[in-house]
Structures are given as structure tokens and as C-alpha cells.
Amino acid sequence: MNSQQKVLDHLLKADGAYLSGQKLAEILGVSRNAIWKAIQALKDQGYQISSTPNKGYRLESLSDDLDPQQIDYFLKQAVGPFDIAYEIRPSMSSTNDLMKEALAHSQADYLLYATQQQTKGRGRRGKAYYCDLAEGLYFTLALRPQKVKLQDVPMYTILAATAVVETIESYVNDQCEIKWVNDIFYHKRKVTGILSEMISSIEAADTSAVMIGIGINLAGSFENSDPAVQDVAGTIFGQETPENFNINQFLAQIVSRILTYHANFDDKAFFPLYKDRLMGVGKEVSYQYNGDWQSGVIVGVNPEGQLIIAKANGKKEILYGQDIHFSSQQFRDL
């Protein structure tokens, strides 16, 4: 960390208390002028820092932008010391695509790519993910499980969906719903999409990483989007995020929940809430499977996270894999 980052770290830890320039200089082993320059640089980034004679500096409010240091601070508050590599930019093409490139070179156990504007986002089955929103959050978290099987990857989508739902519901008054397997709805509108991918090592013949890509519609309007998006898409907070909303703390809460569930993956503690929030249980839905449209009644999910459908002939069908597609529009009316 440079002096600027170290100053911010101490101001965050002070939790609203004053820190004198002299004390900061002594702690960091730099001059008071270096502290003053660091403070000015932080102010330029959007941090509101007050200075009072004989008291020092106090952090009044945080920057509204994504900031790896804030994310790291809030993440460590939730899960303790954690070694995670960050890549935060104002705009990215696709966080999943960039993460794939990073994993080919990085040895870090955990990596996080995050942005508020994604220009080439991807959803399931290669479909584009709509990202032209005033306030969005798009990120990919890469984990390196010691042991993971191909059939476990959909369970990581379920794990992530649960973590996102829990976090969103800590900010709003109403419950979220989950459209199997990877979409989160709020007030009957899609607000989140999740795409989990497995990265395999050919040399070792195993899985080297699991990438969890998440796109969240925080606030804004879809008036300039195509009609299909307008019919389904929604936001968590309406037109604007609350005044006291901190996107870094929000992201850290999601990541900390994912990491906690990941560390205790075999317990499947995330699974009960996922089942409870599953949309369409007991309702007839249509879906596309291998290019053919079919219909059936949603029964629930089995322990492997696969969807159980009751067909008209009385038989039950287990659905899983990338070849299953449910139109989101029909879930708005369930």
C-alpha cells in the first residue's frame, strides 16, 4: 500500500474519530506534508475528510465509486483477514472474459473483477447481458476449490444466488424470488443474473477454478432499452440508490457470504433459502429443451440443485444443464 492507501486505511479504522496529522506521520513513517498530500488526493477521489486544528483529520463520508480498499476493509470486517486480488475499473468489457485471462497468469486463491459499466456482458447460453443502466454492479469472483466436480458448478450458482438474495433483502423491505437456476427477481422484475463457469486444467485433468459472474441492476431506467428488456427488467432501488447506500459495502457483503458458503460447501447451508425463494412452484411453465418447447408444473429442486418438473402424463422430469431455457416473461405473471 502507498501512503494514500495507508492513510485511508487508518481513517476507516478510526470509525469517525479524529487522527492527528502528526500521529499519522509517525505511524506511517512519513512527513506531515506527505500526509497532507495523501489527504488531498483522497478528497479528489470523492472522500469527504474534515480537518480541525488540534484534533486532526476525520473521515466524514466515503467515495461513491468502487474502491478496492473499501471493499477489502468491509470484507475483512465480515470474514477477517483474507488474501484476495482485486481489479476494479470504471468500465470493463466482460468481467468473466477478463477473469479467464487473469486466471491463466495469477496464482491468487481468490480474485475479484468489478465494474459499474460492462460493455460486453454475457449471460447463459452465450446471450448478451443488458448493462446500459445508470447504476449497476457487475463483477466476477474466482475461487479455487480443492475438489470440485463438473456437477458441482450449478450448485455454485445456487450458492451465489442465495448470497445475493440475502444481501439484497438486508437493504429492502420485501423478499426476492429466484427463477431457476440463475435469475433473481424483485417485485416480479428481474434484477440479477448469474453465470458460473468452470476453468479446467488440461495438464492436471481437474478443475483449477470456478468463476461466478454476477450482474445486478441497482437503480435507473430502462426507457431506452428494447421492449423485451423493458417487459422483464427491474432494479432493486427504483430510479436512484438510497443516499446512504455504499456500493463497496454492498459488494463486500455479497462476497463475504459467498466465501463463507464456499468454505463450508459440503454443508449446503445456502440450499434451504434457495428452495424457499424458488419461483413458480406448483405452477405450469413452458421451457425450451434441446430446441423443443415443452411444458410442465414446477415441483421444486432436488439435492443436486436440478429442477423437478411434473409432466402431464404424471411422470417427473429432472432438468439441468445449459440446454434448458425458461423465458423470464412468463414468471412475471406467476
Please indicate if the annotation marks 257 as binding a ligand: no
Cα three-residue angle 125-328-234, rounded to 5 degrees:
110
Please indicate if the annotation marks 94 as binding a ligand: yes
On whether the CB atoms of residues 103 and 117 are closer than 8 A, the answer is no
Q: How far apart are CA 153 and CA 117, in angstroms?
A: 26
Beta bridge partners of 58: 50
> The C-alpha cell of 288 is what?
425450451
Please indicate if the annotation marks 256 as binding a ligand: no
Outline where DSSP puts E strands in 149-227.
176-179, 183-186, 189-201, 206-219
Q: How far apart are CA 227 and CA 286, in angstroms?
A: 21
Please indicate if the annotation marks 43 as binding a ligand: no
> The C-alpha cell of 45 is what?
477521489
Burial class (CB in 10 A: 0-12, 13-18, 19+), 118: buried
Q: How far apart are CA 205 and CA 89, in angstroms?
A: 33
Outline where DSSP puts E strands in the chain.
48-52, 56-61, 85-88, 110-115, 135-143, 176-179, 183-186, 189-201, 206-219, 284-289, 292-301, 307-310, 316-319, 324-325
**DSSP H stretches of helix in 114-206:** 153-169
Please indicate if the annotation marks 300 as binding a ligand: no
Torsion of CA 76, 60, 135, 241, to 10 degrees: 100
Please indicate if the annotation marks 280 as binding a ligand: no
Torsion of CA 50, 90, 216, 79, to 10 degrees: -60
Q: Which residues are annotated as a binding site for biotin?
A: 94-96, 118, 122-124, 190
Q: Which residues are annotated as a binding site?
A: 94-96, 118, 122-124, 190
